[in-house]
Structures are given as C-alpha cells and as structure tokens.
Structure 1
Amino acid sequence: MPDDLLSHLIGPSPYASAWLWTAVVLVFGLIAWYAAVFALTSRRRLRDLPVLGAARDELIRRRAVRAVRTIGNRYRAGELEPGPAGAAVSGELRSFLHAATGMNAEYMQVEAMAVGKLAPAAPILFELNDVQFNHRSVVDVGALSEATEELIREWT
C-alpha cells in the first residue's frame, strides 16, 4: 500500500524533444518573416542589397538566357518563322533589360537606347527589328538568339 502512493509523489515526466525543435523552427520562421518584410518594404531597392541583389540578378539572367535559348531552338527546329521568332527574342531581351536596369526598355525606341545605358543592346535590337518587320531580311534568327544569350550573360 505505501508503494502505491509513491507513484503520485514523483514529478511529471520530461517533455518531448519535439517541442523544443518546434519552438526553434517557429523562432527562425518568425525571424525570416521579419527579415522578408523589412527587405520588401524598405526604401532601398532589392537590387541594391548586396547578397539579395546579386542573387536576384543571377536568377533574372538565367531565366532570360533559358527563354532566349528555347526560342532559338524552336526556330532552328522549324517551329517558328523568322518574324515571330525575332519578335519573341526581342521581347525577352527588352524584358531582361527592364528587369536588369529598371529602365522601360519595352517601350523605348531603339534609337533612344543607342545613346544611353542600353547602348550595348541596340545593334541586336536593330537586327531583331529588321527580322520582325522586313520579310526579305537575310538576318539569321538562330545567330541572333546566340548573340542575345551572350549579351545577357555578359550584362553588368
């Protein structure tokens, strides 16, 4: 009989270690949430932050190169005509320039690009416009897509 009462005098069993790991994960999640809110709502642009800006630029560059390569491969396979292929490559290049520089490259005339920060892209865009709007153009869209990929890879 006295041994039966002894079980009620011992303290509670220790907590499971899963609670500790749950608390650690929740604390790190909260820190990540506050960091994301701070980064996305700060007055500085995301591209101005050292690590995030470099990662963002690299992701934009890879996506643009992949899209231009896909268009070039589709043109070489005969799925696209030169005009639509040139328009697609031009759109991707302009989209990349807008994301990389912040300038409205989608709406700028090529002549205006030739004198500004976007000058390295102007010769390719001139040829893409020729392919897009001139049915007798002899410019190879496959070569232009490769040149566009190289321009995007080397853009600083």
Structure 2
Amino acid sequence: MVACPNTRRSVTGYVMLLGKSPVSWKSKKQPTVSKSSNELEYRAMAATTSETTWLVRLLTELGMKNLKPVALHCDNQSAIHIGKNPVFRERTKHIEIDCHFTRDKVLEGLFVLNYTPTAEQLADIMTKALSSFQHNKLKFKLGMYPDTFPSLMGDIDDSSDDESAED
C-alpha cells in the first residue's frame, strides 16, 4: 500500500513487546520507493530486525536471559519466505543487500518469522488510517485502555475543593 501519493513511498512501522508491554516502537516513511508489496514488507522486516538485534543485545547486557528466538510477525507470506529461504535470489535482486540482514539473523537463530493476519498487526495503528473499531482493538492489545488515563480537565464537581480551601 502506498502511503504518500506524491512521493509514492510507504510507511514502515513496528512495535516491540517485552511480555505484553511495548518497549520500542517506530513509524517512518521509507527512504526509497518499493517496487512491490513483498519488498515493502521485507524492508519493514529489516528495520525491525535491526532495532530488535540492538534491543536483545542491550537486554542481554542488563542480565536478561532466554531472549532468543524472537518472534517477528509479518502479514506478507512472500516476505516471510524471502526471509527464511537463503536460495531465493533471482526474485530478490532488486532488494538492497542491507535488507538481507533479516535473512542472516533468521539463519543465526535470533528470529523466527511468523505470519500474522493484517487485522492483528499492532504496528498498523501507527501506519494506516483505521476504522474506530480496529483502532480501539489494536489500542487494547497494546495495553492502552480508555479508562486508565485520568482526564486532564479535572473533576466536574470542584465544590469540595473550595470547602477545603476555606478551612
């Protein structure tokens, strides 16, 4: 899907969870135009792989163990196949070498690539215009509940504050 009608560049987004808590997230317009949805998704996987590799290294240095393999979810089966198959070269010549970083990390055992349906992609909340139902569904899955945030307007009935100020 093309995000910007003028530049034809798409938006990459990811959300990283530690348990059920988001610990890192990003949404950014891709620096180049992708020739296919496979390339678009694969570039998004490469950006996620880079950030996750750094995060796993940091958490390991902080003493966390058993962080591997990390599940990397994608809604494009062809991009997953490219990431898993080291011999799938002829069809992927147009994808830059740095994107093959994902494939190397899969072969090293750092990542497991999983298919996740588009409706379940958490990062879509940052990259796409969603229906209010889908937006609320993804917001809930990220642990953002509407009742957990207090109103910035304060209480409607402020008369109790006035009485305490007079005492």
TM-score by length of 2: 0.29
TM-score by length of 1: 0.31
**Comparing both structures, which one devotes a greater share of its residues to helix?**
1
| Between structures 1 and 2, the one with greater strand share | 2
Give the number of the structure whose alpha-carbon radius of gyration is greater. Answer: 1
